Structures are given as C-alpha cells and as structure tokens.
Amino acid sequence: MADEARSQGPRCARCSGPSVREARTRELTGSGQKVFYLAYLWSCSICGNKWVDDGLERLNAGAAQGARALAQRAS
Ligand SMILES: [Zn+2]
C-alpha cells in the first residue's frame, strides 16, 4: 500500500531493523502561553530505538512554527 510505504522509515542505526513514523505531542513554551503541536520521530519496530533525521527535523520545525503562528493569531 502506498500509505504504508510512505510511513516506512530509514533503517535503524542500532540493529538495521525497519522503522515506522510516530507522532508525539510536544509543547512550546514561548510567549507566556503553552502551545502544543505534533512532532514526528522514527521508531524501530525491532529494538525500540527512536530518532529524528533531517527530514523529520524540518517537518517538526515547520509544525512548531505553524503552532506558534496560530497561537499568536489567537491571542
Ligand atoms: Zn533497532
């Protein structure tokens, strides 16, 4: 399935097992108010190793920026 292929991550650096993408709620503490957004990470399905690569880093940075912009608009 196309969806499955897209969520398939890079190989684990520890055991070279397959990884899947996970989403975690993160909290931004910036201008006085708490802002929540979803951050992604790769999770190895064999050994449970979790990491973030450049692609996800960019994605997470974008999500954080979007959340911050939304919060500013709301206040
Ligand atoms: Zn692993």
- The dihedrals phi and psi of 19, each to the nearest 5 degrees, come to -120, 155
Contacts of 68 (CB under 8 A, 6+ apart): 28, 30, 35
Structure pTM? 0.77
Q: Strand, coil or helix: what is 30?
A: coil
Distance 11 CA to ligand 1 centre (A): 8
Which pLDDT does position 2 carry in this prediction? Answer: 43
> For the chain, what are the domain ranges?
2-74
Q: Pick left, alpha or beta for residue 12 (phi over 0 → left; psi -120 to 50 → alpha; otherwise beta).
A: beta
Question: Looking at the predicted structure, is the pLDDT value of residue 1 above 60?
Answer: no
CATH T-level fold of 2-74: Ubiquitin-like (UB roll) (3.10.20)
Distance 64 CA to ligand 1 centre (A): 27
Distance 67 CA to ligand 1 centre (A): 31
- Residue 32 structure tokens: 């006085």
Distance 3 CA to ligand 1 centre (A): 22
Distance 5 CA to ligand 1 centre (A): 18
pLDDT digits (tens, 9 = 90+) for 3-49: 444 567 899 999 999 999 999 999 987 667 788 999 999 999 999 99
